[in-house]
Amino acid sequence: MAPRREAVARPKKLVLAVIDSLKPDMLDRAVDEGHAPALAALLERGTYIRNCLSTFPSVTPVASAAIATGGGPGDHHIPAMNWYHRGEERYVEYGSSMAATRAFGIVRSLYDTVYNMNLAHLSRARRTVYEHLDDAGLRTACTTYLIYRGRTRHDPSGASVYRRIAEAAQFRHPVYGARELFYADLFDSRGTGCTSALGMPGQRDRHTGCVGAYLVEHDLFDFLLFSLPDNDTHSHKVGPEGQVRSIGDADAALERIMHVAGGVDAFLDEHAVIVMSDHSQTAIEEGVNLTDALPDWRVLTPADPAPLEAELAVCPSARSAMVYVLDEARREELVPGVVEDLAEVDGVDLLAWSEDGDAVVRSPRGTLRFRPGGELSDLRGGGWMVEGDEGALRLEVTGGRVTSPTYPEALGRLWSALRCPHSGDVLISAELGFEFVDWGGADHVGGGSHGSLHRDDSEGVLLACGLELPDREQWSLADVTPLVLDHFGVPSAG
């Protein structure tokens, strides 16, 4: 008689809910005031981290790629919201504003965002969480999220009421995504009866809740990335103090998928949940036009009539920015002049660039050089050599440890940004209260924004329910894909 095999417990299905710009203080307030009962239930049953670090720059495309790949921009190669493609000699714009999208061409900008970000710009050397799980035979699903690349081919939706609009905007080509992919009515792996008005703000969380409820009811996933972006749009308009209402809307989408499963407890019997931010937000009081601040340089414009005459490409990304020297042969010569001019601009806090194998940071408090491999260790276990003015990054060095309460994980985040092959020659982080005006002339003065290295832009929520969190001194977005893979027992190498 054959020996009896022990039953192997199957991991719970996992929902990863990303609430864009979710600020820990605002989550606490929404729960305390009774606006977020589903999140309150998860907080009561789960583990809550209030300082999970975003990337630098702390903008959605870079952060989304970090969440979906487990690496920073040096690994996944998405550098910013707006950047200059050296190989194609053009700007890439992922939708800083409708005005910026128009400045670069609506079709071009949307094509970069929907197609090229995943299929050309995102590094092929770094598998996404969907690719890892697809390769392991697990069922992946994704609602409208910037990073969706997986192993399943999806043709554009043929049933959407917005099909003609999508075709006019050149959305005619297939993509490879999660097994179940629902992207702003452009791609629907099956009919659900849910629509998002092509991803219009205010409709996206409802669309995610509708699709998610369908997927839960019909048991169509093992892993679901449940994207809730409307909190970011609302916070941009009214400021981060106004998030309570939009957190309530995100909570309603979570409650919807719990309800269809029979309520919170019944849902959690079969599902583990991670709720997280991609970054935070801070209030904006003043906009800074970097092109106007560099009058002595010939800056490339979106529809430049003489592009070969330009010396610099300037790429604002909310509270961060990058400057590229266009003549590679003169890069070493021109970068110091760019730094000197930018250092005089009101609203510029930090400037960072690479020099002789080191990273260099300049702020009003001094200049600092650093590189990996030294004897100082950070909270994530990285080793660093540091020379110069530690005050430049408000570093605190004690007992062989290097930290910065103002710019958490500053060395590691800056190093990853600088080694991204698509990054600019000079990286810029704004002072609190300031935002860099985009190429459409838009800013969020009177509202909220993000992008800088500062803790107020960078520290977000990580809430886990139904899975164990390992001990870490400092959590970051890059820890989420390994956490998901570990939950399913899938190796994370490669």
The sign of the CA dihedral 142, 148, 149, 153 is: positive
pLDDT score, position 172? 74
SS3 content of the chain, % helix, strand, coil (to 5): 35, 25, 40
Residues in the chain: 494
The residue to which tokens 């369908």 are assigned: 214
Asked if residues 275 and 17 have their Cβ atoms less than 8 Å apart, the reply is yes
Which CATH superfamily, name and number, covers 13-78+122-279+454-488? Alkaline Phosphatase, subunit A (3.40.720.10)
pLDDT score, position 169? 57
Phi and psi, residue 317, nearest 5°: -135, 75
The segments of the chain whose pLDDT lies below 70 read 1-9, 158-171, 197-202, 493-494
Contacts of 395 (CB under 8 A, 6+ apart): 368, 386, 402, 403, 404, 410
pLDDT score, position 148? 98
Shortest CA distance to 280 belongs to which of 104, 124, 53, 85? 53
pLDDT score, position 493? 66
pTM of the model: 0.95
Instruction: Give the tokens for residue 243.
Output: 């998030």
pLDDT score, position 103? 95
Give the residue extent of every domain in the chain: 13-78+122-279+454-488, 286-449
pLDDT score, position 7? 43
The residue to which tokens 């702003």 are assigned: 184
